[in-house]
Structure 1
Amino acid sequence: MKKVINDSFFSNLFENHKSLVGFDSATTNRLEENRQIIKAESYGVEAYTGINLPNAPQPEYQIQKPLRKYFDKPGFNYTTIAQHPDFINLKYSDELVNQYICSMFIDIKGSTRLSLKYDLPFVYKFKNAVIQACIEVIRSFDGYVHRIMGDAVLGFFGSSNITKEQAILDCMNCAAMLKIVLEQNIQPWLREEKPDFEDIQDFGFRIGCNFGDDHEVLWANYGYGSTGEVSPTGLPVDLAAKLQGLSSKNNSMIGQGILEFFNWPKNFSQVKTRKQDGETIDILHVSPNYVKDGSPLNYMMRELDQKNYLQGLPIPTDIKQNLCNGIVHSNMITLKNRIISPTGEVYDFKK
């Protein structure tokens, strides 16, 4: 089965970095060569500055390479943590800025149980690989990693240079592809490394996605300058973490901000349900149901219908046919969507 990221990626990753103390010189040299090649591909050899990027158990940018190609995003996303370009000037300022953002909150499940079963160096390498995968998939879709909180990662999509609609698409495309990367690469590797690994109990993730418009989100610096953090404030942002907690295991929960602003297609989402007294109960709203001005908020939520959503994404059909229903790959057929602009220019359409 052809995969988005090849089978050897994560196995090679762990085999090359058995020690937590440091890297051998050969490995370090290979990583540095990869960084220079990637930078050269993105900006041209002349633009390479020679600045050394920090070593990491997982080579940076390798996941970005295929994903950005599929979704027609040029170059690579080099932003570091909490480095949203629109708000850098707020770090030493009392300024308050209203600006939209699409939030994604990812939480890893099962790491406590893993700590009871395996040695701590292995648990560290496993957790770090998952977190690094989250970082790279977020950056693959022009997102900004805002914070790492233990087993959780908070990312943002959207800026003053990106439309709100594109930010939402980037967020949801990221959620869909992140599920694929974690399930196709992390879980199989762990099963191979640890024969007693149990899919259901030992590893999982939940994702919460939401959108807050300009009037709903306020950006400012919390704390004191360099001892502070530029962060957004607003109910849609706060609810991203809540939505994550309400998602089913290995799935993504979408908040009302996205559902309403984008008029989200019903066939791309599904209502979460639970059993109660032998009956199936629909869970339509965030719980607890917050109260505003004396009335229940009834904040809507829906889970991403992964298989239906993937059908429309620009992934090669030989990969897509193994991920969703209704797709059959044929080397004899090539389909392309093209758009003609008002000025007569023709270009490929990428979602």
Structure 2
Amino acid sequence: MSAASKRAFEEILNKSKRNISIAKSVAGMDSLSEARPVFENFAADANQTEDDHALQRQYRPLFGKDGINESPIGCHPDFRELRGTSNTEYHYICSLFIDIKNSTRLSFLYPLEDVVSIKNSILKAAAEVVRCLDGYVHRFMGDAALAYFGGRNHSKDDSIINAINCASLLESLMTGTIIPVLEAQGYKGSDLGFRIGLDYGPTEEVLWASYGSAQVNEVTATSFYVDVASKLQSMAKKNQAMLGESIISDIDLPLEYLKIKTIISNGVQEEVEHLNRTYTNRQGVPFKYKVREMNHVAYRDLLPFSASEKAAFNSSSAIGNDKIEFRCFTITDGTRCAYPSVSRALSKNQKLKFKLTILKSLADYESYPLTVQFTKTNYGKEAALGKQAGAFPRDAEQVTIPTSNVTSAFEPAQNIEFDETAQYRGLHTMEVEVRNSTHNLIYRHKIGIYIE
């Protein structure tokens, strides 16, 4: 991950340490007058603290989101009026349950003050990522958290996409930022990891209601699909997310971005395709609920990071080059608007333009001509019905050294643009590969397009 994300998490961790240290100092004072300088130091320290929303400020623009999500922990704001009443409301929701794997053993390794700092910092970072993707943190439970995605003013498809992106971004943050920062500060972070359970409940299967009494209550969602998120989380391996059948089928997530979980039982590898029990529905029909593991390596390559950032992760297919950029735009009434990869669902028949920019200065160290290959891959049931599922490479294009008298090294040497149209529901991709004159691959990047 970027240096900015590491600085942001370092600030969260260091702030937590400072607050605990100050609290211990205050507890040891014999009088209020003796404690006053400590509080003054705390106030001064707080003024010097970097933005609490540094992670949001870094990632929200990448996903095409404006401003800061400052929704507080607790009741979903759309259903707050149900609190303390007997009223109910049916409304869809995506539920994401996350916990910190192996956090319990921290108490045997470090002072409790350090354990609080580590766990609190990780959960605060997770909460910021949830809010970065327009989610709502419903509650913290020890080393776990429950978050919701969706609401009255959110589209259902975008809520599902935000939840899936959140799961992928959390894994990227843990492996690329949180663990390296913890280990740099002397903690054994390699044993830690997120476990995530994620599912979607349709409106007719999710009932919002107030639990408790008039004085002590909580508004929450009642649904099999909310409850199953915690079961999925408990099934997940370290730094993995388990997805339920509902969210997979609703957005028609391609098999390429999913895996069947495997376990070793009595020395034999077994596949886990369903929850480990049989359920019976209202009609008395028994069924098994299908689950899949998210293929983080494959999906991470679709997140709206630069190719160089993606390439820094193990097993990434991306190849970065700071002289080459690949982007996608929507075209509406002649107006071009950037579409960050997998950021939202586009309507069918939306006009798209893909653009590859190669800076002139690339010629200073690469051999020309370059060969550029674009490949569109369609997935999903609708594409299959239209006999348009699969990979469709475009004709390869040649890029020669520009002959113009351009002197600026920052002026593009050449732009390659072409048009496409959003047609089939689901997730589809456009990949570009650039090779030099000796056929060595010098750039590879993939953009994901969600379509309603």
TM-score by length of 1: 0.85
Correspondence for 2:370? none
Q: Does 1:215 find its partner at 2:214?
A: no
TM-score by length of 2: 0.67
Correspondence for 2:31? none
Q: State the secondary structure of the residue aligned to 1:60.
A: coil
Q: In the alignment, is the contact (CA less than 8 A) between 2:95 and 2:146 conserved in 1?
A: yes
Aligned-pair CA distance for 1:13:
4.0
Correspondence list, 1:220-231, <5 A: 220-231=209-220
Measure the CA separation in 1 of the matches of 2:9 and 2:252. Answer: 37
Structure showing greater Rg: 2
Q: Percent identity?
A: 33
Please report the RMSD computed on the Cα atoms of aligned residues, expressed in angstroms.
1.9
Measure the CA separation in 2 of the matches of 1:5 and 1:107. Answer: 24
Correspondence for 2:251? 262
Correspondence for 1:325? 316
Q: Does 1:113 find its partner at 2:102?
A: no
Aligned-pair CA distance for 1:3:
2.1
Q: Does 1:340 find its partner at 2:331?
A: yes
AA matched with 2:108: L
Which residue, 91, 95, 101 being the options, matches 1:99? 91
Deviating above 4 A after TM superposition, structure 1's stretches of 4 or more consecutive aligned residues are none
Correspondence list, 1:1-351, <5 A: 3=2, 5-16=4-15, 17-20=17-20, 21-22=22-23, 24-31=42-49, 60-194=52-186, 197=188, 199-200=190-191, 203-292=192-281, 293-323=283-313, 324-341=315-332, 343-350=333-340, 351=342
Whose relative contact order is higher, 1 or 2, with alpha carbons under 8 Å and at least 6 apart?
1
- The 1:185/1:313 distance shift into structure 2, 3 A limit, reads closer
- The 1:15/1:211 distance shift into structure 2, 3 A limit, reads closer
Measure the CA separation in 1 of the matches of 2:233 and 2:151. Answer: 23
Q: In the alignment, is the contact (CA less than 8 A) between 1:4 and 1:66 conserved in 2?
A: no
Q: In the alignment, is the contact (CA less than 8 A) between 1:103 and 1:211 conserved in 2?
A: yes
- The 1:164/1:4 distance shift into structure 2, 3 A limit, reads farther
Aligned-pair CA distance for 1:218:
0.2
User: What is the aligned residue count?
Assistant: 320
Unaligned runs of 5+ in 2: 24-40, 343-452
Aligned-pair CA distance for 1:5:
4.1
Q: Alpha-carbon deviations, 1:112-156, whole Å to 9, x = none?
A: 211011111000001100110111000000000001111110000
